[in-house]
Each structure stands twice: as C-alpha cells, then as structure tokens.
Amino acid sequence: MNAQRERATRPWYRELWPWLLMLPPAASVAGGVAMLYLVVHEPTVLVVDDYSRIEEITSERFARDRHAAELGLAADVDFTATSTGEARIDVQLASAADLALPATLTLALRHASNPRADREVELTRSSALGFGGTTATLAAGHYDLELGPADGSWRLAGVLRANPGRQRLEAQDVPAGASTATTSAGGHRTAPAAPSAEPR
C-alpha cells in the first residue's frame, strides 16, 4: 500500500515514460540545429534553376569545342611544385592550323568536390606555342581543367588526377545533332543559323 502511494506521489521527471516520449522530439530538434549549422558554415553550391541559361551555356560550350576541333588544337599541361610552395604551370599547344594566338590564355581549375579550391590562372605567352604561370599549391583531389582565350572562341578540357603531373587537354566531342551557338571575337553569343526552307 505504501509502495503504491509513493509511486502515485512521485514527480513526473522521476518516471521513465515521459523521457521516452520526449526523446524523438529532442532528437529532431538536435538534428535541425546541426543541419542549420552546416548550412550556415558550409554553404553548398547554389542550384541553378534557370534552365534556359543552362541551355545557352551548353550551346556555347559545344561551339567552343567544335571550333577547337576544327583548328586541330591540343595541349600538354605540366604542373610542377616550386621551392616557394607554389605550383608552376607550363602549357605547350599543338595546332594543325596556322593560329594567331593571344598574349595570354586562361586555365580554369574546378575541384571535383570542393568549390573553395576552384581557381583561374592567367598564363602568359613564353614561346610560339608555349604559355606559363604560377598559382598557389593545389588541393588534393581531382580537378577539371579548361583552357581557352579570353574571347571564349575555343576551349580545351581534361581532368587532372595527379598533382603535380602532366595532363593532355583536347577538344571535347560534340554530340551529333547538338545545337551550338557561335561566339564572336568579342565574346558575344549569336544563335545558330536557322536552316533555309526548301521549296515544296
């Protein structure tokens, strides 16, 4: 009898079942706080929902790839660690056409998993088909490489899997039937020419 009376007057926080009932909501709150912290301190890359812009960018990329293929362009890119802790980048172009090259080229390095490690390096002309420059030491991991002039008329691409190391950049294959836009010398996009109507 006394045991039943003591149990009836025992405070709720000394019972097991209230804590069991509060455990799932408490876990949800803790998880929400953790997710909020990650969102604030580790922002992810924004998702682009402008699909027309995505199509335009893809079309421009195909046009640059096709132009590079028409010129027979390719490049060997050498990454060498220097004594100052930087990475030396040397590019040697090869072209099947008599190409008038600019004074500088831009090499874009896009890290496979860490956007903060992305960078763009301006390479200055060092010889007839050679370019060079330096950048901070690259982070570990794979990099997507894109080489091209400032006017965006062509591009070469590849993947750097070893750092330091050598990577061959080539014109990328354009899917058959892909719509491409041409890029003028000033970097302006023009729509592909519409097919002429055939007489019936």
Q: Can you give the three-state secondary structure of 108-169, one letter per residue? A: EEEECCCHHHCEEEEEEECCCCEEEEEEECCCCCCEEEEEECCCCCCCEEEEECCCCCEEEE
Longest pairwise C-alpha distance within the chain: 105
Residue at token pair 């990454």 = 79
CA 122, CA 171: separation in Å to the nearest integer? 20
102-103-105-106 Cα dihedral, nearest 10 degrees: -130
Average pLDDT over residues 192-198: 41
Higher pLDDT: 173 or 151? It is 151
What confidence category does residue 187 fall into, taking pLDDT thresholds of 50, 70 and 90? very low
What share of the chain has pLDDT > 90, as a percent? 40
Give 184 or 179, the one with higher predicted confidence.
179
**CA separation for the pair 73, 91 (Å, rounded):** 12
At 177 the pLDDT is 61
Q: pLDDT tier at 85 (50, 70, 90 boundaries)?
A: confident
- pLDDT, one tens digit per residue, over 29-71 is 999 999 888 878 765 555 555 667 777 878 888 899 999 999 9
CA distance 126 to 91: 9
Looking at residue 85, the DSSP 8-state letter turns out to be S
CA pair distance 127, 132, nearest whole angstrom: 9
pTM for the full predicted model? 0.61
Quick check: 198 pLDDT over 60? no
Please say if the pLDDT value at position 87 is more than 80.
yes
